[in-house]
Amino acid sequence: MKNFLRQTLLIGLLLGLAVPTVRAAKGPRKSKKDQVVTISTTLGDIRLVLFDQTPLHKANFLKLAASGFYNGTTFHRVIPNFMVQGGDPNSKDTDPSNDGAGQPNEQLIPAEIRPELTHRRGAVAAARSPDFVNPQRASSPSQFYIVQHPRGTPHLDGQYTVFGQVISGQDIVDKIAQQPTAERNRPVTDLRMTVKVEKVKKKKITELYGYQY
């Protein structure tokens, strides 16, 4: 009888020890907060969120934003009924001819092109070099564009990494796209930006901006 009780107790202890292993396999709990990125310009503020499905692009953008990298850069290329593009560090200087060229030997970001992330209105995507020099479709480490066309730009789906979405200020994107331009679709007046990031509860983001997770 004593042996039976010892065996039963041992089996119970072993089962009890096994439970934490099963729970640990479920992975980390999802955060109840997200980062809201605010791009401020003289025309107003644009707020956006970045997608967890594109972790390399999300982490890179947040790192640059937090470091102040984007502050002073401009929207250097704007095309009405298409998109607005910015984020090139060259746009901080006084030479407009190098805007959009990027830095020599800059480290590209591997493409994270996903079929469910499309070029809808307000989509935030990474700029990149053309296929003939960049067949892997790797992204610029800093330059991005925001889709301005009311019906989106579906012809770009599957070609560029979409990694975020405007949740407020799409009307400001519209204003930027309508600015007078000179050569290479560069605005005549510099549209400089400052970028900040703040953590906000996802529930609050939905309440404030109607964005659904």
- What are the tens digits of pLDDT across the range 134-163? 999 999 999 999 999 999 999 999 999 999
Looking at residue 96, what is its pLDDT?
Answer: 77
Q: Look at residue 12 and tell me whether its pLDDT is greater than 80.
A: no
> How far is it, in rounded angstroms, from Cα 104 to Cα 124?
24
Looking at residue 29, what is its pLDDT?
Answer: 74
Tell me if 191 sits within 8 A of 74, measured CB to CB: yes
> How far is it, in rounded angstroms, from Cα 151 to Cα 48?
19
CATH H-level, domain 33-209: superfamily: Cyclophilin-like (2.40.100.10)
Q: Look at residue 7 and tell me whether its pLDDT is greater than 50.
A: no
Tell me if 164 sits within 8 A of 129, measured CB to CB: no
Where are the chain's structural domains? 33-209
The model carries a pTM of 0.85
pLDDT tens-digit readout, 106-127: 899 999 999 999 999 999 999 9
Q: If 0-12 CB within 10 Å is exposed, 13-18 middle and 19+ buried, where does residue 50 land?
A: buried
